[in-house]
C-alpha cells in the first residue's frame, strides 16, 4: 500500500486557521449584540412592567376617587339612598393604592404612596360616614373635609403618575441611546470584520497563487528534450511545495532519460553507420563475387564453344563441372540479392492467421527434402502432440523454417542429420533446429544475426550473411526471439520462440 506523503502545513489547515479568525470575530459580535439586546430588554421591561403598572394603578385609583365623589355629590343633590357602587369603588381604590405602594421604582414615589395610604384610612371613614341618613349633607363639615381630602388624594395620585411617566420617558430615551450605541458598535464591528475577511482572503489567495505562478513560470521554461531542466524552488511546506518537489524529481528523471536517450541515439547512429559501411562493403564484395564466377563461366563456355571439338572428353568434363559450379555460385549470390530486397520490405507489418504447425512444417520442408536426399542428409521433425494452432504470418513465417533448415543442410555433410523439434512451454511455442554439421566458430556467434555479417566460407557455401538477419526480424515481428548454440565440429542448435497466444487475443478472451 502506498504511504501518504506527510505535509507539515497543508493548505486546508491554513484555510481553516484563516477562516477561524473571522469566525471568532463574528462570534464576539454576536455576543456583544446579545448583551445589547439584554440591556434593551431590561429597559423595555422596566418601562412595561414597573412604571406602567404604577401608572395604570394610579389611573384606576383616580377613577375610583372620582366615582366615589360623583356618587356622593349625586346622592346629596337628589337626597337618595347611596348605591353599592361606593363599596366597589372603595375596594378598587384600596387595591390600586396598595399596588402603587408595593411597586415603588422611582425617587419620591415612596413618600407619595405612604401619604396616599394614610389618607385612604381617613378617606374611607369620611366616605362611609357620608353615606348615612343625614338630612343636611351639604352643610356638614364631614362633606367639606371629604371634598378637600379627595382633591388632595387626586393631586398626589397625579404627581405619582407624573413621576412614573417621567421615568418611562427617561427609560425610553435611555433605550434609544442604547439602541443607537448598539447600532453604531455593530456597524463598526461588522465593517471591521468584513475588511479583515477581505484582507485575509487577499493575503491567503496571494500566498497560494504566488508559488503556483512561480511554479508555472519555471515549468514554462522547461523544453522537451532540452537536456537541462529547471529546479523549482519549494517556497512553502504545503501541497504546492510538495508538487514542486515532485516536479523536481520528474525533471531529474527526464534528465536521466534524455541522457539515456542520447546514448541510445548515439548507439543507433553508430549502428546505422556500421550497417552502411557493411552495406557498402557488401555491395563491393558481391560485385567482386559476381564478377569472378561470371568471368570463369564465360571462359569455360567460350572454350567449349570455340575449341570444344578439339578438346578431349576429360577436359570437356572439367570445363562443364567448372561452369556448373559457377552457375551454382551465381544462383546463391542472386538469392542473397533477393534477401537484401526482402530486408527493405520486412518493416511493413502483415496480418496474422491461426495455423496448425503440424500441417505447416511439412509444407515448408517439402522443397528441401529432395535436396537433402540427394546430399544424403536426413531431416526429422518432432512436433508435440495436440499442439494448438498459433497466430503467425503465413507468408513470412515459412522463410524462417526454410532458411534455418537450408543453412543446416548447407553445412551438414553426407550421412548427417537435421532435427526440427516443436513444443510448447507455458505461453510460448519453441522451435529448435539441430544439425550435425561443422558448427560455428565462437568468435562469430555474437554477430551471427547482424546484417551483412561476413564470416562464412563463401567458396564453400555461397552465402553472404543476410538470411539469419531476416530470420531474426521476422521472429521479432511475431513478438519472439532467437538464440544459437554451437561449437566447431559439433553442429549448431538454433532455438526460437513465439507467443502461443497474441496479446490482443488474450485481452479479448479475458473480456469474453
Give pLDDT, residue 460: 44
| 252 and 336 housed in the same domain | yes
The dihedral built from the CA positions of residue 321, 323, 324 and 328, taken in this order, carries a sign that is positive
Backbone torsions φ then ψ of 354, nearest 5 degrees: -90, 110
| 390 and 328 housed in the same domain | no
Taking the C-alpha atoms of residue 293 and residue 26, their distance in angstroms, rounded to an integer, is 106
Give pLDDT, residue 18: 65
Q: Residue 6 domain-assigned?
A: no
Contacts of 351 (CB under 8 A, 6+ apart): 393
Give pLDDT, residue 384: 94
Q: Which three cell numbers stand for residue 83?
A: 348605591
Give pLDDT, residue 412: 92
Domain stop point among 324, 345, 366: 345
Q: Which three cell numbers stand for residue 14?
A: 491554513
Give pLDDT, residue 425: 93
Q: Is the pLDDT of residue 510 over 50?
A: no
Q: Which of 224-233, 326-335, 347-356, 452-461 is most confident? A: 347-356
Say how far residue 266 (Cα) sits from the centre of its chain: 38
| 130 and 236 housed in the same domain | no
Taking the C-alpha atoms of residue 474 and residue 343, their distance in angstroms, rounded to an integer, is 10
| 311 and 444 housed in the same domain | no
More confident residue, 372 or 302: 372
Say if CB 445 and CB 433 are below 8 A apart: no
Q: Residue 489 domain-assigned?
A: yes
With cell 554451437, the residue in question is 486
> Three-state DSSP class for 228?
coil
Give pLDDT, residue 355: 92
Taking the C-alpha atoms of residue 100 and residue 59, their distance in angstroms, rounded to an integer, is 11
Q: Is the pLDDT of residue 478 over 50?
A: yes
Helices (H), 46-140: 52-78, 85-102, 109-130
- In this structure, what DSSP letter does residue 383 have? E
Q: Is the pLDDT of residue 221 over 70?
A: no
Buried (b) or exposed (e) across 131-158, using 16+ Cβ within 10 A?
beeeeebeeeeebeebeebbeebeebbe
Q: Residue 248 domain-assigned?
A: yes
Number of H helices, E strands in the chain: 12, 7
More confident residue, 498 or 132: 498
Helices (H), 308-448: 313-345, 357-375, 397-411
pLDDT in tens, 144-156: 888 888 888 888 8
Instruction: Measure Cα distances from 84 to 71, 87, 327 in Å.
Output: 10, 6, 163
Give pLDDT, residue 230: 66
Q: Residue 65 domain-assigned?
A: yes
Q: Is the pLDDT of residue 105 over 70?
A: yes
pLDDT in tens, 416-464: 999 999 999 989 999 999 999 998 888 888 888 887 665 544 334 444 4
CATH of residue 502: 3.30.565.10
Q: Which of 218-232, 261-275, 476-490 is most confident? A: 476-490
Q: Residue 220 domain-assigned?
A: no
How does strand 481-486 pair with strand 492-499? Answer: antiparallel
Give pLDDT, residue 286: 60
| 29 and 172 housed in the same domain | yes
Is the pTM higher than 0.75? The answer reads: no
Q: Which of 139-143, 192-196, 215-219, 486-490 is most confident? A: 486-490
| 189 and 328 housed in the same domain | no
Rounded mean pLDDT, 204-218: 70
Q: If pLDDT is split at 50, 70 and 90, which confidence band does 235 have? A: low
Give pLDDT, residue 307: 74
Say if CB 59 and CB 99 are below 8 A apart: no
- Nearest 10 degrees: CA dihedral of 273, 279, 282, 284? -90
Q: Which of 175-189, 264-278, 407-421, 462-476 is most confident? A: 407-421
> Three-state DSSP class for 498?
strand
Say if CB 153 and CB 63 are below 8 A apart: no
Rounded mean pLDDT, 290-300: 70
Rounded mean pLDDT, 40-46: 61
More confident residue, 11 or 450: 450
Give pLDDT, residue 340: 57
Number of domains the chain is built from:
3
| 50 and 180 housed in the same domain | yes
CATH of residue 51: 1.20.120
Q: Which of 107-116, 250-259, 482-491 is most confident? A: 482-491
β partners of residue 423 = 430
Say if CB 110 and CB 104 are below 8 A apart: yes
Question: 82 lies in which domain range?
Answer: 11-212
More confident residue, 312 or 229: 312
Q: Which of 144-148, 241-245, 502-506 is most confident? A: 144-148
| 310 and 366 housed in the same domain | no
Rounded mean pLDDT, 327-347: 64
Give pLDDT, residue 198: 79
Contacts of 496 (CB under 8 A, 6+ apart): 400, 430, 431, 471, 475, 480, 481, 482, 483
Q: Residue 4 domain-assigned?
A: no
Amino acid at each position: 500500500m502506498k504511504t501518504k506523503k506527510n505535509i507539515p502545513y497543508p493548505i486546508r489547515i491554513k484555510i481553516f486557521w484563516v477562516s477561524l479568525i473571522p469566525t471568532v470575530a463574528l462570534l464576539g459580535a454576536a455576543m456583544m449584540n446579545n448583551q445589547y439586546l439584554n440591556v434593551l430588554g431590561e429597559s423595555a421591561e422596566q418601562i412595561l412592567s414597573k412604571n406602567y403598572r404604577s401608572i395604570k394603578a394610579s389611573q384606576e385609583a383616580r377613577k375610583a376617587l372620582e366615582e366615589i365623589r360623583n356618587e356622593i355629590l349625586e346622592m346629596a343633590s337628589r337626597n337618595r339612598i347611596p348605591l353599592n357602587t361606593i363599596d366597589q369603588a372603595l375596594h378598587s381604590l384600596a387595591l390600586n393604592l396598595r399596588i402603587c405602594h408595593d411597586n415603588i421604582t422611582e425617587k419620591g414615589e415612596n413618600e407619595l404612596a405612604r401619604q396616599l395610604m394614610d389618607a385612604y384610612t381617613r378617606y374611607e371613614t369620611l366616605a362611609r360616614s357620608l353615606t348615612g341618613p343625614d338630612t343636611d349633607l351639604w352643610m356638614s363639615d364631614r362633606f367639606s373635609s371629604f371634598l378637600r381630602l379627595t382633591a388632595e388624594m387626586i393631586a398626589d395620585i397625579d404627581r405619582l403618575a407624573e413621576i412614573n411617566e417621567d421615568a418611562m420617558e427617561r427609560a425610553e430615551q435611555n433605550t434609544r441611546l442604547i439602541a443607537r450605541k448598539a447600532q453604531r458598535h455593530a456597524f463598526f464591528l461588522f465593517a471591521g470584520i468584513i475588511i479583515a475577511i477581505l484582507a485575509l482572503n487577499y493575503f491567503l489567495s496571494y500566498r497560494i497563487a504566488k508559488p503556483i505562478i512561480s511554479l508555472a513560470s519555471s515549468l514554462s521554461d522547461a523544453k522537451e528534450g532540452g537536456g537541462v531542466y529547471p529546479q523549482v524552488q519549494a517556497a512553502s511546506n504545503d501541497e504546492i511545495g510538495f508538487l514542486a518537489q515532485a516536479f523536481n524529481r520528474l525533471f531529474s528523471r527526464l534528465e536521466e532519460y534524455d541522457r539515456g536517450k542520447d546514448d541510445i541515439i548515439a548507439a543507433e547512429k553508430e549502428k546505422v553507420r556500421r550497417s552502411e559501411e557493411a552495406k557498402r562493403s557488401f555491395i563491393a564484395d558481391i560485385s567482386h563475387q559476381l564478377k569472378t564466377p561470371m568471368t570463369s563461366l564465360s571462359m569455360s563456355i567460350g572454350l567449349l564453344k570455340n575449341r570444344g571439338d578439339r578438346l578431349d572428353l576429360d577436359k570437356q568434363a572439367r570445363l562443364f563441372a567448372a561452369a556448373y559450379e559457377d552457375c551454382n555460385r551465381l544462383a546463391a549470390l542472386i538469392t542473397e540479392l533477393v534477401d537484401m530486397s526482402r530486408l527493405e520490405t520486412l518493416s511493413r507489418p502483415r496480418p496474422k492467421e491461426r495455423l496448425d504447425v503440424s500441417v505447416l512444417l511439412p509444407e515448408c520442408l517439402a522443397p528441401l527434402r529432395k535436396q537433402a536426399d540427394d546430399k544424403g542428409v536426413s531431416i526429422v521433425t518432432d512436433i508435440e502432440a495436440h499442439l494448438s494452432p498459433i497466430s503467425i504470418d503465413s507468408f513470412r513465417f515459412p522463410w524462417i523454417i526454410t532458411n534455418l533448415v537450408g543453412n543446416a543442410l548447407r553445412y551438414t555433410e553426407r550421412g548427417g542429420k537435421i532435427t526440427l523439434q516443436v513444443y510448447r512451454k507455458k505461453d510460448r511455442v519453441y522451435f529448435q533446429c539441430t544439425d550435425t554439421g561443422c558448427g560455428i566458430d565462437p568468435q562469430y556467434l555474437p554477430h551471427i544475426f547482424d546484417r551483412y555479417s561476413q564470416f562464412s566460407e563463401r567458396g564453400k557455401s555461397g552465402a553472404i550473411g543476410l538470411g539469419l538477419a531476416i530470420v531474426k526480424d521476422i521472429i521479432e515481428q511475431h513478438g519472439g526471439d532467437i538464440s544459437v548454440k554451437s561449437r566447431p565440429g559439433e553442429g549448431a542448435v538454433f532455438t526460437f520462440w513465439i507467443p502461443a497466444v497474441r496479446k490482443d487475443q488474450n485481452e479479448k478472451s479475458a473480456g469474453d
